[in-house]
Chain A
Amino acid sequence: MTAPLVEVADLSRRFDVSPPWVTRVLQRRPRRILRALDGVNFTIAPQRTLGLVGESGCGKSTLARCLAGLMPPSSGEMRYEGRPIDLASRRDPRARRAIQMIFQDPYASLNPRWTVAQSVGDPLLAFGLAQSRAEMRAQVAELLVAAGLNPDDGAKYPHQFSGGQRQRIAVARALASRPAFLICDEPTSALDVSVQAAVLNLMRRLQRDHGLTYLFISHNLTVIEHMADEVGVMYLGHLVELQAKSALFVAPKHPYTRLLIETVPSLDTLGRASAPLKGEVPSPLDPPTGCAFHPRCPHANARCRRERPLPTPLPGGGSVACHAIAEGRL
């Protein structure tokens, strides 16, 4: 067993979404805390891909931002190569270089007023990876080519590119600091299938060539199935299931995962709209008691409504947080 590259322990993030204090005092409204992320644990082995899926608003992007150092977690820790990373300070030098993030909207990481070469070259300067202008130019050209772009594209601005090309530019920029761990938050969700195929192929090739480790977030289960080695399923701030991809898609354990896999829109569901998962997504402001999934779960019982299930290891590896499975009811 290789030592994990990334270890995340008990990571939580709360948001204070209380009304302004005047309103609270005058209307006697309580303070409101939104638990976007609640005690998340996982590890990722080097050069592997952990895919993360889950309901909109379940905390995927919050997790990504915390790990990328863009937002401090409320509690919990992350270890990188066995050593703790200071997630609260945006300046942890080791993390800043080794951990990079790719967003759904590439504009989020590209300055529209910078040329592509400036955007891609900026991390080279910031980390002192290029000693001369000529060296920087050469490295930028190399990065652009690695991302499937033309070296001449460096002179252009982001708005002169298509969405797929902009995502390639964002990939080139993310790779500039020679990271080992890439956090990809819905990297192809805004792209057309033909362009998505090119970007996913690119990411896979780069992973192989540079030995990259990915945390790959997507709401699209078919994309996760294509990219991931392990898959984590999130629900309302909790990681409810974690399994090897091969196991998860063949034998999903958690009732939520089962329903998710049943509702994947695919070319085979032609002519019969899949029965959508019933019920509302509970508000993270007011999560259900016990197991957060119980109002939508066909296997819920009194214990589920009362007691929150904790992640329990599965015999074949991975974990699942469900009373029915722990009790052998499912």
Chain B
Amino acid sequence: MIKPNLEMDPKPYVVATSSYLRLSAPELAQQGKEVMPAPLLELRDLTVRLGNAAGAAVLDGLTFQLAPGEVLGIVGESGAGKSVTGAAILRLLTSPLCQTSGEIRFEGARIDNLAEAQMQRLRGGAIAMVFQDPLTALNPVFTIGQQLVQTIRQHLPMSAAQARGRAVQLLREVGIPSAEERLTSYPHEFSGGMRQRVVIALALAGEPRLIVADEPTTALDVSIQAQIIALLVTLSRNRGMGVILITHDMGVIAEAADRVAVLYAGQLAELGPVAEVLRHPHHPYAQGLIAAIPKIGAGLDMLPQIRGTMPRIDALPPGCPFHPRCDRVMPICRTERPEPMPRSGGTLAACWLEESA
């Protein structure tokens, strides 16, 4: 489980199921539930729609918390709403996407209704984001050094020389060779993988307490991927920095995340401790996703595939959004939407199937 960080504000809260949320700490203590320090980040019933309150839901009732020093993995296929979750947290939703209900709290305070000026101070500072596409985060006309120094000085009181030293340190930390010399390089002079490392260095520049990393290692080779993941985990543990790790690589989740949330069509399909979800997934979608991963030595001719494709969010079927692709569909699945419900192993799964023994 997640280790509480004792230096943080000791406001009691619980990393558990949504039904526990409404109970106070003493009530929970009575029930023998674990009481934790305040969550670093909390999403309550977050709903993002296209256009307005009547538009299709891109994210529908997403609830989870992140403790300081915790790594929460978010997986799901393309279009499931992973990036929108990240963008909503940073309030970077672009029209026609808009948050229509629910709330987002950072260190206890709501941030989804902050003035843009205040939000800008948070972004790149206390909350940083590593984007999926390194090119969107880097300016092609400035050198890596100029971009790092500028970001560092925006958020930290440093002289240009100090910031330069810090920039070299950050580049080293993310594994850029000849860091000093590379300060004068432009983004296009780096290979795809090296560019993503520079982006991660940029994210670290403002000494963040929360990093939202959207596919941070997708473009990296394995040895550096392991280093970056290890780096993120170490930073998270040492500084009590929370990490939201959005990735399609379940191997990365297995190594780095404490808990994992599986999204499907904008809804939470399964959420639980990573060992539980990977070894004993409850939701048929989570089961299919894990089966589709190639495994060394498996010797499979064809990989198990989930049939069909995820529906467009503006054309979701009624009931369980996964039902047209589910091998275990039941009549109720076609009409009633399952809510996330507690399962064994501290997992939540939104599925009408009874727990199998």
Closest A-chain residue to B230, C-beta based?
A276
The answer to whether A226 touches B300, judged by C-beta atoms less than 8 angstroms apart, is: yes
> Using a CB-CB cutoff of 8 Å, which residues 272-318 of chain B contact chain A?
274-275, 278-279, 288-290, 292-298, 300-306, 309
The answer to whether A226 touches B303, judged by C-beta atoms less than 8 angstroms apart, is: yes
The answer to whether A204 touches B302, judged by C-beta atoms less than 8 angstroms apart, is: yes
The answer to whether B192 touches A192, judged by C-beta atoms less than 8 angstroms apart, is: no
Is A264 interfacial (CB 8 A cutoff)? yes
The answer to whether B294 touches A270, judged by C-beta atoms less than 8 angstroms apart, is: no
Tell me the complex Cα distance, A262–B182, Å: 30
How far in angstroms is the closest Cβ of chain B from A180? 22
The answer to whether A194 touches B252, judged by C-beta atoms less than 8 angstroms apart, is: no
Chain B residues near A219 (CB-CB < 8 A): 193, 219-222, 225
Is B172 interfacial (CB 8 A cutoff)? yes
Is B194 interfacial (CB 8 A cutoff)? yes
Is B25 interfacial (CB 8 A cutoff)? no
The stretch from B76-84, B141-149, B150-158, B326-334 touching chain A is B76-84
> Using a CB-CB cutoff of 8 Å, which residues 167-183 of chain B contact chain A?
172, 175-178, 181-182
Kindly state the interface size class of chain B when it binds its partner.
Answer: 35 or more
- Count contacts between A and B, CB distance < 8 Å: 170
Tell me the complex Cα distance, A221–B225, Å: 12
The answer to whether A266 touches B224, judged by C-beta atoms less than 8 angstroms apart, is: no
A220 and B178 in contact (CB under 8 A), knowing A226-B294, A269-B251? no
A274 and B226 in contact (CB under 8 A), knowing A57-B193, A194-B292, A266-B251? yes
Is A163 interfacial (CB 8 A cutoff)? yes
The answer to whether B305 touches A197, judged by C-beta atoms less than 8 angstroms apart, is: yes
How far in angstroms is the closest Cβ of chain B from A327? 25
Closest A-chain residue to B196, C-beta based?
A56
Contact with B along A233-249 (1 / 0, CB 8 A): 00000000000000001
Tell me the complex Cα distance, A108–B274, Å: 36
How far in angstroms is the closest Cβ of chain B from A247? 13
Is B100 interfacial (CB 8 A cutoff)? no
Tell me the complex Cα distance, A267–B218, Å: 17
Tell me the complex Cα distance, A260–B224, Å: 10
Tell me the complex Cα distance, A259–B218, Å: 20
Tell me the complex Cα distance, A223–B294, Å: 6
Chain B residues near A259 (CB-CB < 8 A): 223
Is A300 interfacial (CB 8 A cutoff)? no
Is A139 interfacial (CB 8 A cutoff)? no
A194 and B77 in contact (CB under 8 A), knowing A259-B223, A274-B255, A285-B178? yes
Tell me the complex Cα distance, A16–B309, Å: 46
Closest B-chain residue to A278, C-beta based?
B227
A55 and B251 in contact (CB under 8 A), knowing A266-B295, A273-B256, A280-B177? no
Contact partner of A269 (CB less than 8 A), chosen from B218, B219, B248, B254, is B254
The answer to whether A57 touches B275, judged by C-beta atoms less than 8 angstroms apart, is: no
Is B118 interfacial (CB 8 A cutoff)? no
The answer to whether B221 touches A263, judged by C-beta atoms less than 8 angstroms apart, is: no
Is A312 interfacial (CB 8 A cutoff)? no
Tell me the complex Cα distance, A198–B302, Å: 9
The answer to whether A57 touches B251, judged by C-beta atoms less than 8 angstroms apart, is: no
A sample of 28 cross-chain residue pairs with beta-carbon separation below 8 angstroms, ordered by A number, consists of A55-B223, A56-B224, A57-B194, A104-B192, A162-B79, A162-B309, A192-B248, A194-B77, A194-B289, A194-B292, A201-B305, A219-B220, A219-B221, A222-B293, A225-B296, A226-B294, A226-B298, A249-B296, A263-B222, A263-B223, A264-B222, A266-B296, A267-B290, A270-B254, A270-B275, A277-B223, A280-B175, A283-B177
- A residues in contact (CB < 8 Å) with B: 17, 53-58, 61, 104, 162-165, 189-198, 200-201, 204, 219-223, 225-226, 249, 259-260, 263-274, 276-277, 280-283, 285-286
The 9 closest A-B CB pairs, nearest first, are A56-B193, A265-B251, A57-B191, A197-B292, A219-B221, A226-B294, A283-B177, A197-B303, A277-B223
